[in-house]
Amino acid sequence: MKAYERLLRYAAYDTQSDHHSTSYPSTAKQWVLLETLKDELLGLGLKAEMDQYGYVIGTLPGNAGAAVPTVALIAHVDTSPDASGAHVKPRIVKRYDGRPIVLDAVKNIVLDPAVFPWLRDNVGHDLIVTDGSTLLGADDKAGVAEIMTAVERLVADPSIKHGTVKIVFTPDEEVGQGTTHLSVKAVGADFGYTLDGSKVGEIAYENFNAAGVTAVFTGKSVHPGSAKKKMLNSIRLAAEFDALLPLSDRPELTEKYEGFNHPTELHGTCEKTTAEYIVRNHDVTRFERQKQDFRNAAAYLNQKYGDGTCALDIREQYQNMRTLLEHRMEIVEFALGAIRKNGLEPIVEPIRGGTDGARLTYMGLPCPNLGTGGYNYHGPYEYASINEMDQAVDVILTLLTDIAASTRS
């Protein structure tokens, strides 16, 4: 079976996750696809189990000797809460001609290369698009489909030499909980790859260092009619605080390796105001400097208006996986080599966010992220290139055979 046929099949399952849920997985409907995937792995002759949290872990024993490292291939089954994932009606556009693709003529929803210029790289490809009313779910069912298809090929052809492969399908990545209950010990791999990127040939092994900041401002509330020389309005304190942060560290002014501070929430009264920020940078030194900017701004207000005017809470959220992968660069080199061997030029881009792979890296399972051939995630303009999905399967197979070959020699 081809990877895209699996994507079409998996897209029929509504697996949208939910930010507001307190259960795990966040939505019961994710169980249905996870159970189906477990059965599919069993049907291919693998050992496979699903645990109490919904994680499906399959094992394909190696056939290249015991010294070959065990590699995990990881993808998530849930789709983004940002757009409906129910009643997805995928449509195949054969040999894409480079012109705008009308998804919904009535609502004028058009997949247009003028808006999404990367479509031009897909001219001549067979594409899978939506009907304009839902997302497609290639994020990350394309990754699931490619892993499953690679495993099927390995099972069918024992002449392909590889180490033990661990297949890991997870829920709730889109709500930031994809690794919350995952046991790296249960996975039992030396390292892994998430198949959760975009264009095939992409490899990402750098992401932001991330912290959350809560700043609480305490003012003095007095009747405004008799406030002269008495009132201290905490809403104004929050504004003054924000103005003390460097202007250049704003998301709307940054890209690539430039970090930012971003206010995400502000609520308050004259008496008390709370501001929430997120702080992001790939570079640890600059990241530390940004956090120091917050402390300096708080110290300035406390000196100017009195102790306790601004209380700061800085929480670490996640870290750049590069810091750890720098000591394990062969994991990245294997992927770069496999991409090149399949006639592709590797695209190395820093992730301006975090990934499950970044969390796994810090949990002890080093885990760069690879492209799947899916694009425009989290909305109705999402599409996948069937050609790139086939290439992604080939990249996985080359990767596994290269890792086995390098260890044996």
Footprint of Zn ion on this chain (CB under 5 A)?
Answer: 139-140, 196
Q: Give yes or no for a contact between 213 and 294, defined as CB atoms under 8 angstroms apart.
A: yes
- For Zn ion, the closer of residues 216 and 360 by Cβ is 360
What's the full length of the chain, in residues?
409
Interacting residues of 170 by C-beta distance below 8 A, sequence separation 6+ = 54, 55, 74, 75, 76, 77, 178, 179, 182, 356
- β-pair type (369-370, 191-195): parallel
What 3-state DSSP class applies to 124? coil
Minimal distance, residue 202 CB to Zn ion, in Å: 13
- For Zn ion, the closer of residues 196 and 388 by Cβ is 196
Reading the block at residue 244, the tokens are 């003390």
Minimal distance, residue 79 CB to Zn ion, in Å: 9
Q: Please list the residues that pair with 48 across neighbouring strands.
A: 58
- For Zn ion, the closer of residues 140 and 249 by Cβ is 140
Minimal distance, residue 50 CB to Zn ion, in Å: 20
Q: Please list the residues that pair with 109 across neighbouring strands.
A: 104
CA pair distance 61, 65, nearest whole angstrom = 10
What 3-state DSSP class applies to 391? helix
- For Zn ion, the closer of residues 27 and 261 by Cβ is 27
Per the annotation, the verdict on 345 as an active-site residue is no
Q: Could you give the residue ranges of the DSSP H alpha helices within 157-277?
A: 184-187, 234-244
- Of these residues, 173, 202, 249, 390, which one is catalytic? 173
Q: Could you give the residue ranges of the DSSP H alpha helices within 306-364?
A: 322-325, 329-341, 356-363
Which of 258, 270, 176, 267 shows the shortest CA–CA distance to 214? 267
Minimal distance, residue 299 CB to Zn ion, in Å: 40
Minimal distance, residue 76 CB to Zn ion, in Å: 6
Which of 71, 76, 75, 36 shows the shortest CA–CA distance to 154? 71
Minimal distance, residue 80 CB to Zn ion, in Å: 8
- For Zn ion, the closer of residues 147 and 301 by Cβ is 147
Which of 207, 75, 51, 200 shows the shortest CA–CA distance to 137? 75
- For Zn ion, the closer of residues 194 and 391 by Cβ is 194
Per the annotation, the verdict on 35 as an active-site residue is no
Instruction: Count Cβ atoms within 10 A of the Cβ of residue 38 and give its class: 0-12 exposed, 13-18 middle, 19 or more buried.
Output: buried
- Of these residues, 14, 40, 78, 172, which one is catalytic? 78
Reading the block at residue 111, the tokens are 């997949």
Annotated active-site positions, please? 78, 173
